[in-house]
Amino acid sequence: MKKFLLFLFLFLFTIVDIHALELNSEHVVLYNLNDNQIVYELNKDEQTSIASLTKIMTTLVAIEHISNYDEKVTVRNDMFVGLKEANAAVIGLRHNQVVTYNDLLYGMFLASGADATRAITISLAGSEDQFVDWMNEKAKELGLEHTHFENTVGLDDKNHYSTVDEVATLLKVAMENEKFKEIFMTETYTFSDQSITVSSTFKKTAKNFNLPYDFILGAKTGYTDQAERCLASIAYDETNQIMYLLVTTNADGSPKHILDAVNLYHYYFNHYKYYPLVKTRDTIVTLLTQYSKIKEVAFYAPKDITKYLDHEVSKEEVILEYEGETIIHPNTKIGTKLGVVNVKYNNELIETIDIILTTSVPFSLFVFIEINKIYFIIGFTLLLLFCFIVIKVIKKHHNKKKFEFR
């Protein structure tokens, strides 16, 4: 009954206007990754505890320091000091258990195992403190000015914080790493010694509450008392072919962080898409020629120019603004850039298209004469008048000499 009511709530929730959505999370940022643009935000730059979203950085830094994923690692009890007292989630690694770096990566990220996190970071750096230094160096390298780490697990600490927007930036960078991407999108993994099978905490929770999640490609959950329920996820709108990235923190209870994600994704899937401002092969500018049998040359859009909107495009708001040569001179070389067309929508510049000459415009003497015939008539008349005067002068001079001779 509980699952049914949640599903009914979800269905009703997704049909309301975005401004009426009462999200549970206190910090939210949603990116359209196609344009790398924020489409929804709530306290995105406010400092927040991030719990196990920390492990996005831990995993990325670990991957960058591992040369062989199949290398053996021996687990020791001293790696787990303080985890039980902090009530940190573990996957059940045993003292002297031999695993691989690959096992620990999946155990750390999918199941958010604090024991796997400590085992991999101490094995790579010699100590958790040294690994934390690596994490903070990476944050500085990425320009994350409002992010600082005090531990590799994500335990609450006044000096352990970030913002949802900087976590989003980190996740975008991490997804460029093929190994991280592989782990992020995995649902279950079995250790090389067959001792442990770990599952995505996100997908496990979604299944338990009968929440739809197939459109979410991967996610990392987090929970501490300060951060409450957190989620970083990436989803794909297959109908409109749009990739989204969402980071949320401080949702007050499970599965409210997942409900926020599902509701936001569904809203944008159902209300937003790319609408064409200009279609491929649409004429975007026509230029006149000079002294050529080709009177004008039309230039076409090389691709669809679109705008991400929640409504149909108003054609009156589409402006094609040309800047450049107004006349194509004869024998202009193919490949010459003549100018640009600025495609604007509602006075916003959407794209600039170079106008390149792709066809020859040969000079025509006939056209030249035709266009300038008045000047030819005047010139020819003046020439005849000049000749007439010259002949008359010559004749007069000739007659004068004949007279003198006589």
Neighbours of 42 (CB within 10 A): 15
**pLDDT on residue 364:** 83
In the prediction, which pLDDT does 3 show?
Answer: 47
Distance of CA 228 to the CA centre of its chain: 29
16-35 pLDDT, tens digit each: 456 657 899 999 999 999 99
Hunting for tokens 């990436």 — which residue is that?
Answer: 234
Q: The dihedral of CA 101, 103, 105, 108: what is its sign?
A: negative
Q: Are 242 and 193 in contact (CB under 8 A)?
A: no
The CA distance from 159 to 149, in Å, is 7
The residues that bridge with 222 in the sheet, in sequence order, are 230
CB atoms within 10 A of CB 146: 14
Q: Report residue 379: phi and psi, to 5°.
A: -65, -45
HEC assignment per residue over 115-164 = HHHHHHHHHHHCCHHHHHHHHHHHHHHCCCCCCECCCCCCCCCCCCEECH
Flag residues of the chain having pLDDT under 70. 1-20, 367-368, 370-382, 384-385, 396-406
Q: Cα 371 to chain center, whole Å? A: 53
Summarised one tens digit per residue, pLDDT across range 117-143 is 999 999 999 999 999 999 999 999 999
Q: Is 295 helix (H, G, I), strand (E, B) or coil?
A: coil
